[in-house]
Structure 1
Amino acid sequence: MMSNEASYWYLENIDVTGILCPQKIRRGDLEAHFHRCYKRGEYIYLPDEMSDRVFFLTDGRVKIGTYGDSGKEITKAILGKGDVFGELSLIGEDHRRDFAYTMEEATVCVVNVDEMKLLMRDHTSLGLFIMKIMGSRVLEMEKRLESLVFKDSRTRIIEYLLESAEKKGRRVGFETEVRKFITHQEIANLTATSRQTVTTLLNDLRDRNILTFDRRRLLIRDMDKLKGETLPVS
Structure 2
Amino acid sequence: MAFDDGLALGAQHHAALERCGRVARMPAGTRLFDAGQSDDRIFLVRAGRVRTFAIAADGQEITTGVWSRGSVMGLLGAMEQGGKVLSAQTLDAAELLVLQEERLHRLVLDHPDLGWGLMRLLARMAASSIQRALRLASASAPQRLVDALVMLAELPEARRAGAAAAVIEGISQETLAGMTGASRPWVAQAMGDLAQRGLLVPSRLRIAVPDVARLRAAVSTG
How many residues align? The count is 217
Partner of 1:3: none
**Partners of 1:137 and 1:146 in 2: CA distance:** 14
**Backbone CA RMSD of aligned residues:** 3.3
SS class of match (1:50): coil
Q: Which residue identity does 2:50 align to in structure 1?
A: V
Q: Structure 1: where are the runs of 5+ without partners?
A: 1-7, 26-32
Change (3 A) 1:56 1:190: same
Q: How does 1:115-134 map to 2 (within 5 A)?
A: 115-134=103-122
Asked whether the equivalents of residues 35 and 108 of structure 1 are also in contact (C-alpha less than 8 Å), the reply is yes
Asked whether the equivalents of residues 44 and 72 of structure 2 are also in contact (C-alpha less than 8 Å), the reply is yes
Query: Of the candidates 17, 29, 39, which is equivalent to residue 20 of structure 1?
Result: 17
Q: How does 1:72-221 map to 2 (within 5 A)?
A: 72-149=60-137, 151-168=139-156, 169-171=158-160, 176-191=165-180, 195-221=184-210
SS class of match (2:165): strand
Return the TM-score normalized by structure 2: 0.76
* TM-fit CA distance, 1:223: 4.2
Q: Structure 2: where are the runs of 5+ without partners?
A: none
| Larger of the two Rg values belongs to structure | 1
Asked whether the equivalents of residues 170 and 178 of structure 1 are also in contact (C-alpha less than 8 Å), the reply is yes
Asked whether the equivalents of residues 177 and 217 of structure 1 are also in contact (C-alpha less than 8 Å), the reply is no
Q: Which residue identity does 2:146 align to in structure 1?
A: I
Return the TM-score normalized by structure 1: 0.72
Query: Of the candidates 5, 10, 15, which is equivalent to residue 9 of structure 1?
Result: 5
Q: Which residue identity does 1:129 align to in structure 2?
A: G
Q: Deviations over 1:112-145 (max 9, x none)?
A: 1111111112223321222123212321232123
